Structure 1
Amino acid sequence: MARKKIREYDSKRLLKEHLKRLAGIELQIYSAQVIEATDFTELTDKEPWLSSNKLVVKPDMLFGKRGKSGLVALNLDLAQVAQFVKSRLGVEVEIGGCKAPITTFIVEPFVPHDHEYYLSIVSDRLGSIISFSECGGIEIEENWKKVKTVFLPTEKTMTNDICAPLIATLPLEVREKIGHFIRGVFSVFQDLDFSFLEMNPFTLVNGEPFPLDMRGELDDTASFKNFNKWGNLEFPLPFGRVMSPTESFIHSLDEKTSASLKFTVLNPNGRIWTMVAGGGASVIYADTVGDLGYASELGNYAEYSGAPKEDEVLQYARVVLDCATSDPDGRKRALLIGGGIANFTDVAATFNGIICALREKESKLKAARMHIYVRRGGPNYQTGLARMRALGAELGVPLERYGVGGRGCQPFAASECYSRQQSTRERNLDGCWCEEMKIFADVSTRSRRLLDWPRPPVRWRCWHQDLETGTTSTAASSSVKEAIGGSESSSQWPERRM
């Protein structure tokens, strides 16, 4: 499941539109979205309630704690709202360590209220978790012990009995109304494929539920069946994240294909670049580079899977290679083309697109002093690796390739030393890790030597086989300690993550 955040404006729009259809509840909520291009005169003509109510205005940028950050203004008239927006639109703010300008606001009627409730629904692997509290609002975290939670398995439906523990302590005059509201919200949650929904707080206005603040996340893989229900819905980037032109191009390719094409630039000046087949393998490659201590040199995260067409791989590889070879500075670079063992993807066919791109970028590869390492398994992989070997000779670019049965492919040997220190469960995970990471048994040592990097300390080296000796290294030299500026337990080397 892919969980994509949506704006508060869209969360409330979807809830209002579909709660009446599914539960017969008509919410009396109104909201308007304000961006840089908004004309307040035209907006007032479209939403006449703006000129007749006191208003609330706040950023709608996928981050929380807006009230605690002083970004919510209450009880304003329309002129004051316009001034508030004008003074903050485009202004950069820092939230949770992320900096970005504010570009979108939500405006709503100001609703005086005495009581605040909390409601959240989260999709879990085996069902849904529904949480409710009579003590909602900005202090919900401080009052988390008062939150009541029930788990609803996937195969069961929401009933009065399941909802009863959540509302058991409410006064009788509001208990049934809030219970009906919770059941209705859950129906919307399921019908529209929400993966997360939170109201903090909602209140009662004239005895009817009224969401004041709301967050939502949708399963975007269900967009094909919810196109009409969701309407003109935008999935904004996370706060602080700006998509580059190259990332936008790959994103557009990804939207047009049944395959998966993902690309994110992490460090434009990085010297390690990846082009990895498979979502799991791509994460493992990136994690391993970081675990070896070279996260600052990792240029990108890249993943292609789902049997993309040759032309799609060609366009994808062109973008990766352009980024990997940009601004040559005389230092050596490494490109890892790899993945797990494919189940149905024709390795030779996908390699054809990569090979065409490598031919096109020959001069750039040489200027960047790029060394290429290839490892792949699966249908027709021998043909693909043979073509890669021929390409290396043709271009005169250093290129090494490895298959399922090549050197360094013993799936458990590389982790043997490290595994002695782990539990049985962790050892099993480590075996799976090495099955996917066979390439690093060969490539990581050579890449470090190629790029003139120090070998990592013992707790990484022990699970990477030394190609020259065929043994596993067990000690760190004093030169390594000097190179990393400390001992083997230096904080520069974070604990290995699974």
Structure 2
Amino acid sequence: MRITGMRYGASILKLAGFPVPEVLNSGATFEEIEKLLEKRGKLVIKPIFYGGVGKKGKAGLVKIVNSVNEAMEAKRKLYFAEHTFHNENVVANGVTFEEFIPSEYEVYFNLNVSTITRRVNFTLSIDGGVDIEDLPPDRIVQGSFDVLTGLKNYHIIDALAKLNAPQEMVSALVRHLPKLWELYNDYGFTMIELNPIRMERVGKRLNAVGCDFKGMLDIDNPLADRLNLPAEIFETNLSEFEIEVNQLRTYQGQSDVAVINPEGTITSFMFGGGANSAATEILSDKTTISSDFGGNPPYEKMYNIARIVYDYWLEQSNVLLIIGGKANNTDIFVTFKAMFDALRDYFGKHSKKEIYVVAGRGGPNLIQGFAYARDILESLEIPYKFFGYDSSMIEVIQYVVDIDNWMIDNE
């Protein structure tokens, strides 16, 4: 489940002691808004979208105001604002009034677990406040650390040195960024992103203030319950496909899905939060769905998930992608047997179509899984390519994009 914005992000960050601006919700009184405005002379007004909706700033849905009247006018315009994100039209459900934080620098920071190395990846840039993919590679540093040791001060110091960060930024970031690992580890997150962290000058020193929040929660992880989030943020307008798959949720194995583009041409089985983040980001509106089927799902569950996915999406797809890192506990043979048995049964009932299958995976019984998949695909005369766990997940996903583009160009 995805959470974006400071409506709940502020209270989540406070759990780790990470500095945040003061945030008022839609029901704030005229007097409360006026008092908050007096602190800085400006306010930031943002619409509230449930379900992890991003790109609000680019869409002109973030307003900076200088008076209470302007704040109330922005509230009126943004309260039920419409926004298109990943080809889905969404409607806001309220606004936040946020303290304006003046800053000389803005920082980007992201945490997520690599399903290849089982280490935690972090991404840091001192050019925050923009989409990270818009920055040149030399303005971004990526690193990793072991989950047993956690994120340490020296990880941050080394990364900032590579970026030639101003010395005055270092102390505040070294003091506060490791707190995000504690939050990640203690509350069931699979991804945390702050963009921007604004560097506010307090006296002669800078302080790091988290001004926007994005997170992905594993709602099957009992640690997530400790956040005490209200049920309303779990409420979304689910499609028939999402409802059908969600009915298969059990204690064993995840079955998290979201429709990204009903007209997409790549259908993906994603295993693990790292694979989900990478594939969803790179495939963008080419993918029909975003998913996470990790957690060692049993054969029957995985077969039924695959059956539903094929029934809804295979006919329109050029490429079927199975992507994940090196699993510790998931039996690759069992999951592959389920998915490819379902594929064989699908083509037993439907006419054959042109499709290309790409699988990038690692873990227990991988070779047996690949061999079983090979036999099914060759019997169906379906072209395929397999990648092992030592392959770059990013390059595998980009390979899928290139295949899809080629198939579209040669239709």
TM-score, normalising length: structure 1 = 0.51
- Residue 9 of structure 2: aligned partner: 11
Residues 263, 177 of structure 1: alpha-carbon distance in 2 compared, 3 angstrom cutoff: closer
In the alignment, is residue 191 of structure 1 matched against residue 186 of structure 2? yes
State which of 99, 111, 116 in structure 1 corresponds to 2:101.
111
State which of 227, 243, 247 in structure 2 corresponds to 1:230.
227
Residue deviations 1:315-362 (CA, integer Å, cap 9, x gap) = xxxxxxxxxxxxxxxxxxxxxxxxxxxx9xxxxxxxxxxxxxxxxxxx
Taking the aligned partners of 1:217 and 1:69, their CA distance within structure 2 comes to 22
Give 5+ residue unaligned stretches, structure 2.
263-297, 318-330, 358-373, 383-405
Taking the aligned partners of 2:299 and 2:80, their CA distance within structure 1 comes to 39
Give 5+ residue unaligned stretches, structure 1.
268-275, 296-342, 344-427, 449-453, 466-470, 475-488
In the alignment, is residue 72 of structure 1 matched against residue 62 of structure 2? yes
Residues 262, 179 of structure 1: alpha-carbon distance in 2 compared, 3 angstrom cutoff: closer
Q: CA deviation at 1:19?
A: 2.6
Residue deviations 1:408-461 (CA, integer Å, cap 9, x gap) = xxxxxxxxxxxxxxxxxxxx98x974665446646643x34xxxxx5546989x
Residues 150, 77 of structure 1: alpha-carbon distance in 2 compared, 3 angstrom cutoff: same
Residues 6, 87 of structure 1: alpha-carbon distance in 2 compared, 3 angstrom cutoff: closer
Could you tell me which amino acid in structure 1 is paired with residue 74 of structure 2?
A: F
Tell me if the contact between 2:82 and 2:90 (Cα under 8 Å) persists in the aligned partners. yes
Residues 129, 185 of structure 1: alpha-carbon distance in 2 compared, 3 angstrom cutoff: same
Could you tell me which amino acid in structure 2 is paired with residue 94 of structure 1?
A: T
Taking the aligned partners of 2:356 and 2:21, their CA distance within structure 1 comes to 57
Residues 184, 439 of structure 1: alpha-carbon distance in 2 compared, 3 angstrom cutoff: closer
Residue deviations 1:211-231 (CA, integer Å, cap 9, x gap) = 222212222222x3453x413
Q: CA deviation at 1:104?
A: 3.0
Tell me if the contact between 2:4 and 2:53 (Cα under 8 Å) persists in the aligned partners. no
- Residue 281 of structure 1: aligned partner: 303
Tell me if the contact between 1:32 and 1:47 (Cα under 8 Å) persists in the aligned partners. no
In the alignment, is residue 175 of structure 1 matched against residue 173 of structure 2? no
Residue deviations 1:13-39 (CA, integer Å, cap 9, x gap) = 1112x233xxxx6x25211222xxx3x
Tell me if the contact between 1:51 and 1:77 (Cα under 8 Å) persists in the aligned partners. no
Taking the aligned partners of 1:6 and 1:66, their CA distance within structure 2 comes to 10
Say which SS state the counterpart of residue 155 (structure 1) adopts.
coil
Residues 237, 76 of structure 1: alpha-carbon distance in 2 compared, 3 angstrom cutoff: farther
- Residue 49 of structure 1: aligned partner: 36
Tell me if the contact between 1:291 and 1:493 (Cα under 8 Å) persists in the aligned partners. no
Say which SS state the counterpart of residue 116 (structure 1) adopts.
strand
Residue deviations 1:368-405 (CA, integer Å, cap 9, x gap) = xxxxxxxxxxxxxxxxxxxxxxxxxxxxxxxxxxxxxx
Taking the aligned partners of 1:32 and 1:141, their CA distance within structure 2 comes to 31
Tell me if the contact between 1:293 and 1:493 (Cα under 8 Å) persists in the aligned partners. no
Residues 184, 434 of structure 1: alpha-carbon distance in 2 compared, 3 angstrom cutoff: closer
Q: CA deviation at 1:57?
A: 0.5
- Residue 129 of structure 1: aligned partner: 121
Residues 221, 6 of structure 1: alpha-carbon distance in 2 compared, 3 angstrom cutoff: farther
Q: How does 1:348-363 map to 2 (within 5 A)?
A: none
- Residue 151 of structure 2: aligned partner: 158
- Residue 59 of structure 1: aligned partner: 47
Q: CA deviation at 1:97?
A: 1.8
Tell me if the contact between 1:54 and 1:77 (Cα under 8 Å) persists in the aligned partners. yes
Say which SS state the counterpart of residue 236 (structure 1) adopts.
helix
Could you tell me which amino acid in structure 2 is paired with residue 12 of structure 1?
A: A
Residue deviations 1:79-114 (CA, integer Å, cap 9, x gap) = 222211212333433233211222232220122222
Tell me if the contact between 1:254 and 1:261 (Cα under 8 Å) persists in the aligned partners. no
Higher relative contact order (CA 8 A, sep 6+): 2
Taking the aligned partners of 1:110 and 1:288, their CA distance within structure 2 comes to 48
Q: CA deviation at 1:200?
A: 1.4
- Residue 400 of structure 1: aligned partner: none
Tell me if the contact between 1:117 and 1:203 (Cα under 8 Å) persists in the aligned partners. yes
State which of 187, 197, 201 in structure 2 corresponds to 1:202.
197
Tell me if the contact between 2:248 and 2:255 (Cα under 8 Å) persists in the aligned partners. yes
Residue deviations 1:303-325 (CA, integer Å, cap 9, x gap) = xxxxxxxxxxxxxxxxxxxxxxx
Residue deviations 1:258-297 (CA, integer Å, cap 9, x gap) = 5789799989xxxxxxxx97442234324544676267xx
In the alignment, is residue 218 of structure 1 matched against residue 223 of structure 2? no
Taking the aligned partners of 2:20 and 2:311, their CA distance within structure 1 comes to 53
Taking the aligned partners of 1:96 and 1:13, their CA distance within structure 2 comes to 27
Residues 85, 254 of structure 1: alpha-carbon distance in 2 compared, 3 angstrom cutoff: farther
In the alignment, is residue 83 of structure 1 matched against residue 73 of structure 2? yes
Residues 194, 50 of structure 1: alpha-carbon distance in 2 compared, 3 angstrom cutoff: farther
Residues 282, 75 of structure 1: alpha-carbon distance in 2 compared, 3 angstrom cutoff: same
Taking the aligned partners of 2:199 and 2:186, their CA distance within structure 1 comes to 24
Residues 46, 159 of structure 1: alpha-carbon distance in 2 compared, 3 angstrom cutoff: same
Q: How does 1:309-324 map to 2 (within 5 A)?
A: none
Residue deviations 1:104-160 (CA, integer Å, cap 9, x gap) = 322201222222122111223312112211211226433242111210122223323
Say which SS state the counterpart of residue 220 (structure 1) adopts.
coil
Residues 111, 282 of structure 1: alpha-carbon distance in 2 compared, 3 angstrom cutoff: same
Taking the aligned partners of 1:459 and 1:260, their CA distance within structure 2 comes to 26
Taking the aligned partners of 2:258 and 2:110, their CA distance within structure 1 comes to 34
Give the aligned length.
309
> Highest CA radius of gyration, 1 or 2?
1
Could you tell me which amino acid in structure 2 is paired with residue 231 of structure 1?
A: N
Taking the aligned partners of 1:65 and 1:292, their CA distance within structure 2 comes to 29
- Residue 266 of structure 2: aligned partner: none
- Residue 96 of structure 1: aligned partner: 86
Say which SS state the counterpart of residue 293 (structure 1) adopts.
helix
In the alignment, is residue 149 of structure 1 matched against residue 142 of structure 2? yes
